[in-house]
Structure 1
């Protein structure tokens, strides 16, 4: 969660203010059935509706795929947003502002108003750079772009510009401290600020909401560095952003696949040829964070690299980074270009259709991985096959549990002829046992499960005096730690609804079991809920007392305190 950025109380109040039925119905038409509202699940393909929304609990659950959560979770999953973005969208839905704080590059708290000023400065700087591109000073930059086939429409779409070759182009126009905060200015040893970008074609970098968060600048001569990016700031974290994503999503919110290329000009040149699904990493290697970001918008990623040695090394690093992201249903391909070609030159030489065919026919990650890992090994020998297992296994163990992981281990077994390599078999057994245990749990309604589910679904029950009087040290039953934790969280947070309570568990180890309790069908009339809860609680106390009595009776020597406890328990049993 982001309590450090968005006050927890605001998030709780927001969840109370919103009606999840109205929210989801605005994205997905719902139909009322009994106490719930239903629809076909937006998170998996199905013919009959299994997606259920409960207005009282402010919670949704899919009986088909298990997707569940509150209003924030729905926006995160449906619109592929991160937590902060989902809270901001939810706040906009109910018409309130988010009192958000951030941490500046200098480590001090930065207010929302300050961030707004920085975004405004980035917008103004972009407008200045654009004006300079079409001014006399930008003639060489304009010629360079047009020589690369970038027409005026593309320049406007990507808001390209030019930073004059001068030390103080921005400093005389904008606040010096704000320029330093956004990385547009640098301070020298003497304490004087000067422009970071000078004599460069400017590529504004936008986040998913279209806000300018940083810049990339390219020189027009042979000076170095060829490309210069904004530094890390309160607005810009290059390891978590890619260039061109905003423009891509503006044209297609759910692309069939996303092509990750190496540079700004690759993205723009491909867009100029009608290939609108390309993005680029921002001067860093493709990372797990990049992959997770892109997988939110498409189930297939294609990593496109130059065919030279540097490109091949980059492809391998990208493959390593993406392994932990490869859940079932996701696919990665590796596309190595012919030597001395980049995406722009290849499209011009072969045409758009052939380039798109190369993308579709590019090597799937599994084939690429095993081809690379087996390179130089003599698989006809026992030693070579043993080396293959030794090299491949550490990578495969990074894969998330699922069908793809099992199939990768199966392929390794086939290639190595190592039939006792049983990781995939063990995974399958563990997963099957987990599913069977889950099914058994669902059919068994113990007093503990009933009491915990009623608490989660009706947090107000935690105020009953019977709970306040419990001696937790004597409460012994399966699930007691979770039950106690739920009670303590409700006492501490005082959540008004189940949705607010669930938010307290976001990202915790107990999130999944608490979600399971939230949508457990109890079939209890509202007027009977309190009595059923008290009966279940009484059953737990009785069970714990019996457990304690059995423990004391089995002891040969008792302390004075234990003797007193035994006396009381025996008296209660009469």
Structure 2
């Protein structure tokens, strides 16, 4: 889809983006020489190998080889499509995407209209709440104060849509737009209604604070108790965390995130100054939720009811989260008393006691064995075998060597294998092939080195001698070099990240990305000389090939005057280049 967004616009967007700032808002970068380093977010590692270059506007991991520009980072880190990454950068810089393709442009405009409509409707819901005694009585009964109403932009939807329209003088045009975007509905009898009618409204915000959807809670106990907006172009339940925007407004990097089940749980705990509370919209935790949570904190604490349903929900969450746990990323659990939710518990026992529950949250390993040992008789050989068969596949999904080995050794002792080394040796032999890494190797050639140096240092184009002699020559990779050279000359301030964007989705995209991160072992001060030397070698190769041709022709049938002048000129140039090299 990249061809449907003007390349000039993408280039402009990248020129406005500081990749160091973009990544530093998501990871903690540390200055290391002229670059920045962090632990790679894309694979488990103990020593930081993830490097970000301000000069090149490019990131590269020497551990897992992932690399690219600001767009690539958003695509990989936030699991966005190419167009979604462009939209994200456009939102950050407050500019609109000029799609070339009408269909895509319509799609983008529709999304912008949706944001606007959601914001307008949210404002009306908030105004409506101030005028509705029944809704205010409900919030008062639940103990939600006015500050929380303002912080979470809580509103109320009237039972009758027509009266709601009259009350706030909603124009027919706005009503029609709400209908066309399926925000309000119309039944078979032609009656217009709001799916949230008669409900307290909890606006759901994305990371930029834009309203993307609503959650609604009935106040008259009609079912279902809670509903969410249907999924749209701007809202997906599996990718949205309620309350995260409010937490991030207060804390750049929260020390932990406490995940509860309901909207009111989030609001009540926040009111009691438990300031790290979020919810997965009352739906089951998804892998996307886990990734988003770990992108924003190193410790995620799940809070569930202590009954069987709560324990089972915690177990399902743990199984999904195991591959994303590491030495840095920790998962914990709080199991509340039976039939209690966080809202009830904190009101009953107060903030201090609830904070003790958070501080004493059960570790992942403790909960893992506590749950998996349920109904297991460790004196039974069959039960021990059942336990190992059930536990090992789950433990082996953990990428952290330290945690995985600790859990396996704990399991070994439980089933009666006291020799940890023997057990680990057995498991290692089973996994050794699976754990071997394979890398895509690119052989070094003078032309690839030239291309690599130019991609990594586009300013070298300025010192490149005239290239007329290079054109129309049959040297592998020369056409690519000349094309990149032309782009650099036409865009004097271009950086590596922008240069690579010209080749996205082309056949040579991957090889160019690899060359852009190639460690050529040349100190910065010698890069210019090496580039010119390599270029001279290419020139000499072309001159030598022409020289050999003319010498061969002279032996067979002689040369014309112009050809004799040419071979004299070639000899002179080769001699000159040889003297330069010796110097």
Shared fold (TM-score, shorter chain, > 0.5):
yes
1-side partners of 2:358 and 2:19: how far apart?
A: 41
- Offset of 1:335 from its aligned partner? 1.1
Aligned to 1:205: 204
The 1:114/1:151 distance shift into structure 2, 3 A limit, reads: same
Q: Secondary structure at the match of 1:242?
A: coil
The 1:445/1:342 distance shift into structure 2, 3 A limit, reads: same
Q: Secondary structure at the match of 1:202?
A: strand
Aligned to 1:416: 415
- Offset of 1:409 from its aligned partner? 3.2
The 1:73/1:341 distance shift into structure 2, 3 A limit, reads: same
The 1:350/1:94 distance shift into structure 2, 3 A limit, reads: closer
Paired residues of 1:38 and 1:49 also in contact (CA < 8 A): no
The 1:363/1:23 distance shift into structure 2, 3 A limit, reads: closer
- Worse overlay, 211-220 or 307-316: 307-316
Q: Is 1:141 paired with 2:141?
A: no
The 1:401/1:112 distance shift into structure 2, 3 A limit, reads: same
- Offset of 1:341 from its aligned partner? 1.7
Paired residues of 2:49 and 2:62 also in contact (CA < 8 A): no
Paired residues of 2:326 and 2:399 also in contact (CA < 8 A): yes
- Offset of 1:505 from its aligned partner? 6.7
Q: Is 1:232 paired with 2:231?
A: yes
Q: Is 1:526 paired with 2:553?
A: no
The 1:241/1:534 distance shift into structure 2, 3 A limit, reads: farther
1:22-77 deviations in Å (ceiling 9; x for gaps): 989999999997xxx3467598999999967362x333568899996534567899
- Offset of 1:328 from its aligned partner? 3.6
Aligned to 1:469: 474
- Worse overlay, 331-340 or 494-503: 494-503
1-side partners of 2:175 and 2:52: how far apart?
A: 54
1-side partners of 2:447 and 2:353: how far apart?
A: 63
Q: Secondary structure at the match of 2:296?
A: coil
Q: Secondary structure at the match of 2:156?
A: strand
Aligned to 2:144: 150
- Offset of 1:469 from its aligned partner? 2.8
1-side partners of 2:504 and 2:104: how far apart?
A: 28
The 1:366/1:159 distance shift into structure 2, 3 A limit, reads: same
The 1:20/1:299 distance shift into structure 2, 3 A limit, reads: closer
Q: Secondary structure at the match of 2:143?
A: coil
Instruction: Identify which of 497, 500, 507 aligns with 1:499.
Output: 497
The 1:89/1:236 distance shift into structure 2, 3 A limit, reads: closer
1:476-515 correspondence runs (5 A): 497-503=495-501, 514=514
Paired residues of 2:204 and 2:213 also in contact (CA < 8 A): yes
2-side partners of 1:395 and 1:6: how far apart?
A: 43
TM-score normalised according to structure 1 size: 0.73
Q: Secondary structure at the match of 1:203?
A: strand
1:228-269 deviations in Å (ceiling 9; x for gaps): 110011221111101111111111121100011010000000
The 1:150/1:5 distance shift into structure 2, 3 A limit, reads: farther
1-side partners of 2:23 and 2:149: how far apart?
A: 38
1:400-426 deviations in Å (ceiling 9; x for gaps): 364333433333333334554657635
Q: Secondary structure at the match of 2:227?
A: strand
Aligned to 1:113: 109
Aligned to 1:219: 218
The 1:366/1:183 distance shift into structure 2, 3 A limit, reads: farther
TM-score normalised according to structure 2 size: 0.72
Aligned to 1:53: 53
Q: Secondary structure at the match of 2:253?
A: coil
1:337-375 deviations in Å (ceiling 9; x for gaps): 111221122112222122111112111112211221121
Aligned to 1:313: 312
Aligned to 2:337: 338
The 1:534/1:302 distance shift into structure 2, 3 A limit, reads: farther
1:359-374 correspondence runs (5 A): 359-374=358-373
Number of residues paired by the alignment?
A: 512
Paired residues of 1:181 and 1:233 also in contact (CA < 8 A): no
- Offset of 1:467 from its aligned partner? 10
The 1:463/1:302 distance shift into structure 2, 3 A limit, reads: farther
Aligned to 1:132: 128
Aligned to 2:153: 159
Paired residues of 1:43 and 1:67 also in contact (CA < 8 A): no
Paired residues of 1:182 and 1:234 also in contact (CA < 8 A): no
Q: Tell me, which stretches of 5 or more residues in structure 1 are unaligned?
A: 472-482, 540-574
- Offset of 1:81 from its aligned partner? 9.7
- Worse overlay, 225-234 or 39-48: 39-48
The 1:517/1:118 distance shift into structure 2, 3 A limit, reads: closer
Q: Secondary structure at the match of 1:310?
A: helix
1-side partners of 2:267 and 2:402: how far apart?
A: 37
2-side partners of 1:257 and 1:354: how far apart?
A: 18
Paired residues of 1:102 and 1:234 also in contact (CA < 8 A): no
Paired residues of 1:161 and 1:202 also in contact (CA < 8 A): yes
Q: Tell me, which stretches of 5 or more residues in structure 2 are unaligned?
A: 542-583
Paired residues of 1:451 and 1:536 also in contact (CA < 8 A): no
